[in-house]
Structures are given as C-alpha cells and as structure tokens.
Amino acid sequence: MAGLCSLLGLFLLAGSLPLDAAKRFRDVVSHGGAAAPIVRHQDRLHGWSPDQNIWNEKLYPVWKEGDSQWKNCWKGGQVQAILTSDSPALVGSNITFVVSLLFPRCQKEDESGNIIYDGSCKNGTAGSPDSYVYNWTVWTEERDSGKCPNKSAHHVFPDGKPFPCHPGWKRKNFVYVFHTLGQYFQKLGRSSAVVSVNTANMTVGPQLMEVTVYRRGHRSYIPVASTRDIYTVTDEIPVFVNMSQKNDRNSSDDIFIKDLPIKFDVHVHDPGHFLNTSAIYYKWEFGDNSGLFVSNSSAFSHTYTLNGSFVLNLTIQAVVPGPCPPPSPRPPTPTPPHFPGTTVNSSDAPTPLPTSASPQDWGREAPDESCQVTRYGHFIASLTIIEGILEVNIIQMTKIQKLAPQTADSTIDFVVTCQGNTPTDVCTVISDPTCLWPQNTVCDPVEVSDQCLLTIRRAFSGAGMYCMNLTLGNEASLALTSTLVSIDGRGSPARIETGILVSISALMVFIILVTFFVYKRYKEYKPIESCPGKAVNGNGLDVSFHNGKAVFFPANNEKDPLLKKEAGIV
C-alpha cells in the first residue's frame, strides 16, 4: 500500500514537474518498479541502449497501469501481449524472446498489416459494415510515400532514433520496446516480434524481461499492451534425461525393472545451437558400484542387476567459447635488453622470443580473441529397481473342439510362459493382421504360482487372419508378445504363424528330442490318442507342441492339467 502511495506520489510529482524533467526509459518500461543499477560497461548487451535515455512522451504517451485510457486504446476489446523465451540459456549462447499479440476475438492482421475482422469467425462482429478494425493503409499511403521512413515525419522510436529503412516497414504497425538489465531495445514489427540477445555479458541467474507495445496512430503512437517474463541465464549446461525401458509400465515414475537394460537419452537444451561445434562428453555413474562410464554419445544403456534404490549421477562436459580470463597479474614480459646509446640490429642479434610470449599469449591480449571455457551440466536421479516381468512367450496354441461346428467361430487356448516376476493381469488385443486396428480387447486378473505358466482362452469370430497382442502385467511391469493366428472357415486348425514360429522353432527341436525320449520311456502309460492336441487337430506342428509341453512342464502326463483346470484358463 505504502509502495503504491509513494508510486502515485511520484507520478503526481512527475506530472507537476516542468516538461524538461523528461521521462527516462527506466521510468516508462520498468513495470517492476525497482530501479536497476546503472549498467556497468561490461554488462552492455550488444545493440541495446542504457535506460537512462530520454523517452519521447509527446509521441509515445505513457499510461499508468489501471488508467482508463487502456480500455479505449483498441477497438472491440483489449490486446494481449504474450512473451515467451527459450530460457534457460547457457551463458554465452543466444536467448530468443518472442512477443505475440493476441487480438480481441474475431480480429486478425492481414497481409498489409491492417487489422481486419475475421470473416471465418462465426457469430462475431463479422456483420459489421466496415470489415477493417484499423485501416492503416489509408493514411500511411498518403503520408508515408517513399521507400524509407521519412525522418522528418513521426517515424522515430521513443528515444528519437529514426526507424530503419527496411523493405516492408510500412506493414509493420507496432513498436516493441524490450527492457532488461537496465537496457532497452526497440523494434518495429507486425503482430509478433522476435529478439535474440547474446547472454555473454549477462549475469547468471533469473532476470526480468519487460516488453511494451505501441501501435501507430495518426499523429502519435498509442500503447496497446505490455508484458513481462522471467528468464534464466545459467553457467550449467541445461540437461534433461529421458529414461525408458522395455516392459516398464509407467515411464514417468523412476521405477525400473532389474535385469533389463534401461535406455538413457540425454537432451541438452540448446535452442541457439551454441554447442554445435563442441564435443560433449557424458560421464555416467549409476550408483550400483559398476564404476564410471565416459561416452561421447547422448544415448546410453545400463542394466541393474540388483533391486533397491540407486542414485544416478550424470555429468556432461563441453568446451565452449567463453570469456577470456581477466588478465592475470603475470610477471612483466621480459623485454630484450636495451642499452641506452646502443642500437641493436635485429638481424645481427636475433633474440629468441621468451616462452611466455608465445604467439598464443600475444593473441590473448587482443580483444577479439575467442577464448574457451569448459562448462558442465549435471543430472541426478534416484532410481528404484524392482523385479518385473522380463519376458512373455506363447508356447502353444490349441483349438478347442466345438459341439456346434456350423459356425465359423473358434476358441483357442494359448499356453503362455513368462520369466521374472509373476503377473497379476493379462490383456489380449485381437486386431487385423497388420496389428493396427484393434477389434477386441479383453483383460483379466490372473493368479499365477511361482512357475509362470498359464493358459488363456480366447474366442475368434469368423475365419481369417488375426493379430493378437498379449500382455502380462503387474504393478511395475508390462510384457508384450504378438502373434498371428489363422482361423480357417471349416473350423480346423489354428496355425501358429511366422512371428511366433521364429522364436519357437529352436524350442521345437529341443522339444521333439525330449518328446522322443519321454515317449520311449512312458510309451506304456501315455497313448498318443488320448492327447487332446491330436484329437483336436491334425496339424503335426501343434501335436508336437502339445506333447512337448506336457513333457517340458512335467505334471500328470495322462491328462493335461493346464487345459482341464478351468480356473487356470482366462
């Protein structure tokens, strides 16, 4: 309150002062209120001017916040200015600010820079007889003849500098004044303006950028909007790491699965391409006593083999153009001995250059010498490693015999195994053969004992080729497998298609061998005819599988418990 009063008082005071106690930029554009300290020479931004300069208040009127004139400064509502930047910026790089003007509903800027009512805007004021909000062309044409702004006319910035002669300047009907760090930059623009500043001379930390926008009027300029935003200059390379892992259920919770590689993708925030020419090194410490890894690639992969909590510590390093160190108090450069009264002819007595005065050292004194500095970036994350489902495989598909074979519908039992932690739910997505268009999604909870083996029964409506995605999940993990299923019209065998064949063929050889053995041993107890697999389909492949599985997961050999036990089928 007191601050407001004193501010008001200041304004009153300013109002009563004679005209020559003119406004300065810092009084006009600094909405933050705090008077910035005088800019030191080394903090100068290239192309910017100190805000002690005089503001031409006659041409560019100044209104306080809350002044009623703001309400009438634009036809049909208020203009909003939106300021964005690509902050944070590494010191030395360029930071870019963008101001966009948001016009009242149904208004837009046209090709020639006039503001028009948007015809495509429904139920707006489009019905208005005058389709222009501001037809600046009318008077700019008659007054601003000539390719360049007329210096004797009103074509000047608030500090009196003439507008630059730039093609298309007539279509730029807004004046933008940027203000930060006690300096300002003025620019002519259309409904948006972009300014890039080099941060080499900026102090590290958060800073305030303020922007004031004026539109061109007949005799003067009229304020339309102002905005401000915080940006950050940093001496640490801004870095973000995207961590992903196969079978990880939630990619944003920093919980990952043991024994599966975690993929780390490092994103260095460098919108200005400041680090384009720098070699970047990545030093990884995973917190599991695996040691230090140094790489020059932004992608890295690591597998934790223990569960628990680990602190990941990434340090990145880049040599970038930087400020030259202040001239350190070096010992005075030795000069060739000079004896008064004696002239030394250099060709006669060549004096070797002292080592401290090597060409590099001479260069360092030059102001345009580009020095280099090593910058670091850090990323630290706490990862939780738990056990999860590592892999899922469909080892067998069996078509279930139907009592009413007239329909083409088929029911298939899928025998599924998994590695790692036990699943709590199973989902199947049946889709077209390209695996893109889901037709039927079913999820069920499952209860699995220590040995991960379950049978999943699914119905397929009609003949054809299907893609089935099967996922086993628990709290932290989600393992997927895909298979193609072919159902033929006569309700005969479901065949295992290529995708799964590949992974299974190796298993098959083994299984056939084992089958052969077991068959020989248990011949008496296990007549082949009783095997459900054979009874259902004549496909030799499926039979082998079925037998193979019975042996592979030895249980009661006579009757397949997996297929009989209804509770196990989901």
Q: Which residues bind ligand NAG (CB under 6 A)?
A: 41-42, 44-47, 94, 123, 130, 132, 135, 137-138, 141, 145-146, 150, 152-153, 196-198, 200-201, 242, 244, 250, 252-253, 272-273, 276, 279, 283, 285, 296-297, 307-308, 313, 315, 380, 387, 429, 431, 435, 438, 469, 480, 482
Nearer to ligand NAG by C-beta: 73 or 429? 429
Distance CA 82, CA 229 (A): 9
Residue 508 φ/ψ, nearest 5 degrees: -60, -45
Collapse the DSSP code of 15 into the 3-class scheme (helix H, G, I; strand E, B; otherwise coil) and give the result: helix
Q: Which is nearer to ligand NAG, 101 or 197 (CB)?
A: 197
304/552 with CB nearer ligand NAG:
304
Smallest distance from the beta carbon of 32 to ligand NAG, in angstroms? 22
| Smallest separation (angstroms) from ligand NAG to the CB of 395 | 18
Nearer to ligand NAG by Cβ, of 192 and 482: the residue is 482
C-beta closer to ligand NAG: residue 47 or 405: 47
- Of 156 and 551, nearer to ligand NAG (C-beta) is 156
Nearest to 304 by CA among 292, 286, 282: 286
SS3 assignment for 522-539: HCCCCCHHHCHHHHHCCC
Residue 543 CB, nearest distance to ligand NAG (Å)? Answer: 28
d(CA 290, CA 270) in angstroms, rounded, equals: 30
**In terms of CB distance, is 24 or 44 closer to ligand NAG?**
44
Report the nearest approach of ligand NAG to the CB of residue 376 (Å).
9
Measured from the Cβ of residue 139, the count of other Cβ atoms closer than 10 Å reads 12
Residue 281 Cβ, how far from ligand NAG at the closest point, in Å?
9
* Beta strand residue intervals within 387-463, DSSP E: 389-399, 410-420, 425-431, 438-445, 453-460
- Specify the DSSP element, H or E, that contains 370: none
How distant, in Å, are the alpha carbons of 313, 341, 378 from that of 254?
14, 80, 17
At its nearest, how many Å lie between ligand NAG and the CB of residue 467?
Answer: 7
CA distance 405 to 411: 11
User: Is the bond preceding residue 88 a cis peptide, omega within 30 degrees?
Assistant: yes
Q: What is the CA radius of gyration of the chain?
A: 38
Least distance CB 478 / ligand NAG (angstroms): 11
Give the shortest CB-172-to-ligand NAG separation in angstroms. Answer: 17
Measured from the CB atom, is 272 or 548 closer to ligand NAG?
272
Cβ 539 vs Cβ 427: under 8 Å: no
